[in-house]
Structure 1
Amino acid sequence: MDETGVDFMVLSCASPCIQGIADPTEATQMAVSINNELASQISNNTLRFGAFAALDMHDPSVAAQELNRTVTELGFLGALVNDYQQSGSGDNLTFIYYDQPEFDVFWQTVVDLDVPVYFHPRVNPDPVSTLLFAHAPFLIGPAQEFAATLSDHLLGLCTNGVFDRFPQLKIIAGHLGERIPSDLFRINEQLARQLPLGMPMQKNVTFYFQNNIFETTSGNFATDLVQFHAAQIGLERILYSIDYPYVSMQEGAQWIDHDLPASRVLSREEVLRLKRGLAIELLGLDRR
């Protein structure tokens, strides 16, 4: 961090973390243990480090309770979930998504605490990954699988009306929004055809990216896409992130400190807001 000019970093549990634990009791206990350990690790240096809570998402009430504890007692800045919650195994393997009405108790807690929830991707468990990518196994992971799976979950939040029920909800998606803002025209056009069929969504996906969803540059330092996405959803919805340790700190620093300013697609003030200004506001660092 010192070598690459990073003042503050938010730490979280690596994917799939709790979302890969199928047993609810084990998942709940592990989430509490991980959060306590993380709080202990950063307690002597909170000027440089913050934390996102790991949550067991089998039960929305349990998730809400742990989020409240970590924010109000441990000083965490929000939570990070690694896509859907895995449950069961074998023929009983199921995936729990957080876009259904039963999760409203969790989202209400998120809004009441005024913290963001970061949606991070995960590798699908076998046999799902193997079946989906048997024809091209090199697509498993960040090249395709991550964005394909997580974008489904993010769009599920939109189409199932989560943001309409909770208009103040703040979600963060990495990797420049898992490609969604690059395809908003087609997404909006096609989803508009579903409205007469009873789709709960009241606005369109562009609206939610402009009002509820933030994206980070984590692992996707594409200057032309930042410029395009700024035109689509607004630069005020984009913040800098590196995706360490999966992406090197040096790669991020080269882009944000040299390549992006040299491109002149953003003003000096806009680059500064991308680097730190929005993060300070979104994470409430100016209130700490």
Structure 2
Amino acid sequence: MRYIDAFCHFFPQPLWDRLLTLEGAGKGMGSRMRGVPAIFDLDERFRVMDLFRNHDYTQVISLGMPPLEAMGTPAVSRELAVLANDGLAELVRAHPDRFVGFLASLPMNDPEAAAAEAERALRQLGANGLQIHSNINGLPLDDPRFLPIFEVAARHDRPIMLHPSRGNEVTDYITEEKSKYEIWWTFGWPYETSVAMARLVFGGVIDRVPGLKVLAHHLGAMVPYFEGRVGPGWDQLGKRTTDEDLSGVLAGLKRRPIEYFKDFYADSAVFGSRAATVCGLEFYGPDRVLFASDCPFDPERGPGYIRDTIRVLESIEMPDEARQKINWRNAESFFGLTPR
């Protein structure tokens, strides 16, 4: 069985070298990522991938955290985006048997430049999609300044890959100064993704950009498990709110809220959880789920999530056609990959 890993992360060497010179977020990223060599060391990445040769395993690569817009000024983010996208494009050209495509990253703290870089990456570099995070330095994705970026993606028929972004500065309790026990990651990231999906829906972005394709990382985050709240719950939008009139929101949508959420795509990167995989597949169906591992952030620093995700999917009974769609066929059509 062939596998195309739709959401996994790598830093090309020119970008990696530049990141290590940065203060703040870049410096913190470097100190952590040095302990995960498969995210920047190409030989180590190939060693990990070679463990899955019998699975005909290839990757669509994208940058790891943090977002470029968190790395510095708009000028710094613009510089990093060019290094990132040129570097990822070169890796795809040099190693097509390993990397079948890449996702462009954008200087989202300069929306005009981000739209221009998206155009360049898709038109000139052959990017297969755009990686955008769940908030832009605290701004929601339905902020009008970001609309041209979504329009670029739709015009080129390339997807937005939605990645969560949240740090411990977002507290769990208003009486505290920071999130504890990495709650900001374990529960905060799925919440972040779900919030971003909701803002794209209720903020009207999905309606205003026909043909926009958005994939929500980690199997749609909270949405499949909370189907009842997203469905019948949001059908009553405004009934629970007394300090704001929300009566016009549902009337302004073209469909029920849950129908929009069903139109998102999702990936199988749920850290080897069979229960989450079954739930997500039940909600989205085989036509909208893509195989992904989130490599190399497992405890083994590379192969663990790939192996566990394959194992979970193989343990679930489904028709061969559905299995092929999830494992590689959906990725080919979703990213516009050249069939082989």
TM-score norm. by structure 2 comes to 0.73
Say yes or no: does 1:113 pair with 2:156.
Answer: yes
Task: Choose which of 4, 14, 29 in structure 1 pairs with 2:79.
Answer: 29
Tell me the residue number matched to 2:203: 160
Say yes or no: does 1:202 pair with 2:269.
Answer: no
Tell me the residue number matched to 2:7: none
Greater relative CO (CA pairs within 8 A, separation 6+): 2
Q: Percent identity?
A: 24
CA distance in 2, matches of 1:208, 1:224: 24
Task: Choose which of 313, 316, 331 in structure 2 pairs with 1:279.
Answer: 331
From the superposition, tell whether residues 150 and 19 of structure 1 become closer, same or farther in structure 2 (CA, over 3 Å).
farther
How far off is 1:275 after superposition? Answer: 0.9
2:167·2:185 contact (CA, 8 Å) conserved in 1?
no
Which runs of 4 or more aligned residues in structure 1 lie more than 4 Å from their structure 2 counterparts after TM superposition?
A: 129-136
Task: Choose which of 163, 166, 189 in structure 1 pairs with 2:232.
Answer: 189
Say yes or no: does 1:262 pair with 2:315.
Answer: yes
Tell me the residue number matched to 1:90: none
Say yes or no: does 1:246 pair with 2:289.
Answer: no
How far off is 1:62 after superposition? Answer: 1.8
How far off is 1:32 after superposition? Answer: 1.5
Say yes or no: does 1:148 pair with 2:204.
Answer: no
How far off is 1:155 after superposition? Answer: 1.0
Moved more, 73-82 or 99-108: 99-108
From the superposition, tell whether residues 109 and 134 of structure 1 become closer, same or farther in structure 2 (CA, over 3 Å).
same
**What is the RMSD computed on CA atoms of the aligned residues?**
2.5
TM-score norm. by structure 1 comes to 0.85
Tell me the residue number matched to 2:94: 44
CA distance in 1, matches of 2:140, 2:130: 16
Taking the TM superposition and a 5 Å limit, the aligned residue runs for 1:46-65 are 46-49=96-99, 50-65=101-116
Task: Choose which of 222, 233, 244 in structure 2 pairs with 1:179.
Answer: 222
From the superposition, tell whether residues 180 and 37 of structure 1 become closer, same or farther in structure 2 (CA, over 3 Å).
same
From the superposition, tell whether residues 232 and 172 of structure 1 become closer, same or farther in structure 2 (CA, over 3 Å).
same
CA distance in 1, matches of 2:161, 2:202: 19
1:116·1:283 contact (CA, 8 Å) conserved in 2?
yes
How far off is 1:105 after superposition? Answer: 1.7
Tell me the residue number matched to 2:135: 84
From the superposition, tell whether residues 255 and 10 of structure 1 become closer, same or farther in structure 2 (CA, over 3 Å).
closer
Please list the CA deviations of residues 101-153 of structure 1 after superposition, one character each: whole Å capped at 9, or x if unmatched.
33222211111011011111123263x34866768612434311111222111
How far off is 1:260 after superposition? Answer: 3.1
1:58·1:96 contact (CA, 8 Å) conserved in 2?
no
2:135·2:141 contact (CA, 8 Å) conserved in 1?
yes
Please list the CA deviations of residues 178-203 of structure 1 after superposition, one character each: whole Å capped at 9, or x if unmatched.
12121122123333333762224332
Moved more, 152-161 or 53-62: 53-62
- Where structure 2 has 5 or more consecutive residues not aligned to the other structure, the ranges are 1-48, 239-245
How far off is 1:96 after superposition? Answer: 2.0
Counterpart AA for 2:105: A
CA distance in 1, matches of 2:285, 2:105: 29
CA distance in 1, matches of 2:257, 2:330: 21
1:119·1:172 contact (CA, 8 Å) conserved in 2?
yes
CA distance in 2, matches of 1:140, 1:229: 22
How far off is 1:273 after superposition? Answer: 1.7
CA distance in 2, matches of 1:280, 1:259: 22
